[in-house]
Amino acid sequence: MKVVSLERLQDEVKKVVPKAGFEFVSGAAGGEWTMHENRRAFDDYRIAPKRLVGLSWNDIDTSTKLLGLDMASPIMVAPMGAHAMIHEGDERATAKGAGLANTLYCSSGASNATLEQIANATNGPKWFQLYYNNDEGVTKSLLTRAKNAGYSAIILTADALGPGQPENFIAMGSPFRPDRLFGNHDPKMGGKGNFFDQKTALTTKDIEFIKSFTGLPVIVKGILRPDDAKRFVEAGADAIQVSNHGGRQIDGVPASMTALPAIAKAVNKKVPIILDGGVRRGIDIVRAIAMGANAVAVGRPMLYGLGLGGSLGVKSVIEFLNKDLVAAMILSGAGKLADLNPSYIDIVGENAKFNKYNS
């Protein structure tokens, strides 16, 4: 599958996947301001490229390390649920595509396939995203299963305390496929212990519990405030994921890229920072890394690739981003990710005002 730009994939996939699946993936909460702002905010981070720095294309090194993983690039597949809404191959096809591209796959707790089926579908690195359940036994079971299946880290979901709110999907009656429910939970369960029986009263003690129970690194996902990030690092978080859940939970919160600089300053390189939300091009990755991120997670475009081409479609999306990142780096005058820093960026517009206020 040839990828010219990730923006074009949304128009293409709309023609070939079920309407309910498209609305589920493409939609967001409220008036969708936050989702669109996730993308627009990158425009406020203007590149200040360095010239005559002696770089050739072969000099560009996109590799990085993240929680013990050697990664060919800072790109990872964000956790997203219900892939069967857009492709019969479900999360197994997405994970396979990530593995073919040697890319970290983050498995959602809201997957249609079981976490074991997903783990068996990829030969690449993988993390498990936990939706903390009110039933402690269910939570412990999920964590034990994830560790036994070879997931090397746990993502604690802090930004989704209930179902997503994509309005067009809700207007259709939230038509999840009755034949493809949440694979990690018993579909015959009543209210207690099922997927939607999520614990909302989360605290920093839950970070400590997951770490002690599994012995695995914990990434706290959904952070938009620097004081939260600092507090979670002090509680033992091994990484921070700057995210607003793709704008799917609450509208009106800042874009992830808007929140990143202040969070990076608060974390002060004590733990890695992952950013998701609106990443569509290599230059977006350059912007995020320069402003303090260590990696970026990409969501909707991966599912558009899945809908258009299955596992090979996912692989094509990742390959496009990797190639575009190399081009963005050489044209910015950066030979490796560690070279990127705020000196490569001029912040303008609303983000300049926001970051001045939060400095």
Element (H, E) at 66: strand 64-66
Residue-number span of the structural domain to which 340 is assigned: 6-357
What stretches in the chain show pLDDT beneath 70?
163, 187-193, 356-359
- Look at the block and give the residue holding tokens 């604690």: 156
Rg, Å, the chain Cα set: 19
Element (H, E) at 92: helix 90-100
- Check residue 136 and give its pLDDT: 94
Domains: count for the chain: 1
> Does residue 32 form part of some domain?
yes
Total Cβ atoms within 10 A of residue 185: 21
> Does residue 305 form part of some domain?
yes
- Check residue 181 and give its pLDDT: 80
pLDDT tens figures, 129-143: 999 999 999 999 999
Q: How many Å apart are CA 258 and CA 39, to the nearest integer?
A: 11
Q: How many Å apart are CA 296 and CA 274, to the nearest integer?
A: 5
Q: What is the CATH number of the domain that holds 226?
A: 3.20.20.70
Q: Three-class SS of residue 31?
A: coil
Give every CB contact of residue 161 below 8 A, 6+ residues apart in sequence: 198, 200, 202, 249
- Check residue 180 and give its pLDDT: 83
Catalytic residues: 245
Residue set of the binding site for FMN: 79-81, 108, 129, 157, 221, 243, 276-280, 299-300
Q: How many Å apart are CA 264 and CA 282, to the nearest integer?
A: 20
pTM: 0.96
- Check residue 354 and give its pLDDT: 76
> Does residue 1 form part of some domain?
no
Residue set of the binding site for glyoxylate: 131, 245, 248
